[in-house]
């Protein structure tokens, strides 16, 4: 009897070529002061004679990518794909966890960057929108205003930044970052 699962086409077979697929390196596109962006990691792989591209655009789905997983196909070609596409490659568990670690790191960086933007927006409003912020009640003390609260609260805590940001956005005092 024929086993149907062997007939299923791998999602990469039409874009990258046939497997088996193996992760051979990682690269990352980072912002750079002098040149806009710079590529770090296993950059030498892009000089390989079987390098087929994907440094900045996923070879599988065409999305712009900052975190690049270099996949070697069955024929030895090297392709750069994004982390989420790389997880479609039926990779061994060890390679899957290496990619998941990268995704977690990437998400952490995004959260930190977002928090910095929120904090900057709050700082700016604290200088320029004092009247508007003072009109909001203090969360615990009815004799004080929200401006007192914002001036006193510690914006080093992510949770504080998130709650103040949410309040100021709801009151249309700051724009969403």
Residues lying near Zn ion in the complex (CB under 5 A) are found at: 58, 60-61, 82, 85
Nearer CB in complex with Zn ion: 46/145: 46
Nearer CB in complex with Zn ion: 69/121: 69
Nearer CB in complex with Zn ion: 29/58: 58
Tracing tokens 């995704």 back to the chain, one arrives at 103
Nearer CB in complex with Zn ion: 23/122: 23
User: Nearest distance from residue 124's CB to Zn ion, in Å?
Assistant: 37
User: Nearest distance from residue 62's CB to Zn ion, in Å?
Assistant: 7
Instruction: State the chain's maximal CA–CA distance in angstroms.
Output: 80
Query: To 10 degrees, the CA torsion angle through 96, 101, 107, 113?
Result: -150
User: Nearest distance from residue 173's CB to Zn ion, in Å?
Assistant: 39
Which runs of consecutive H residues, i.e. helices, occur in the chain?
83-86, 93-128, 130-134, 146-152, 158-170
d(CA 79, CA 14): 13
User: Nearest distance from residue 113's CB to Zn ion, in Å?
Assistant: 22
């Amino acid at each position: 009897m024929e086993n149907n699962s062997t007939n299923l086409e791998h999602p990469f077979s039409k874009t990258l070529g046939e497997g088996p697929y193996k992760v051979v390196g990682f690269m990352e596109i980072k912002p750079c002061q002098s040149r806009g962006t710079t590529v770090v990691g296993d950059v030498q792989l892009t000089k390989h004679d079987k390098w087929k591209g994907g440094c900045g655009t996923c070879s599988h789905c065409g999305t712009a990518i900052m975190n690049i997983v270099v996949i070697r196909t069955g024929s030895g070609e090297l392709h750069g794909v994004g982390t989420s596409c790389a997880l479609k490659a039926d990779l061994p568990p060890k390679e899957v966890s290496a990619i998941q670690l990268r995704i977690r790191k990437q998400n952490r960086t995004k959260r930190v960057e977002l928090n910095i933007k929120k904090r900057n927006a709050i700082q700016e409003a604290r200088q320029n929108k004092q009247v508007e912020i003072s009109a909001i009640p203090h969360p615990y003390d009815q004799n004080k205003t929200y401006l007192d609260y914002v001036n006193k609260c510690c914006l080093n805590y992510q949770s504080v930044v998130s709650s103040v940001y949410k309040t100021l956005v709801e009151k249309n005092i700051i724009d969403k970052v």
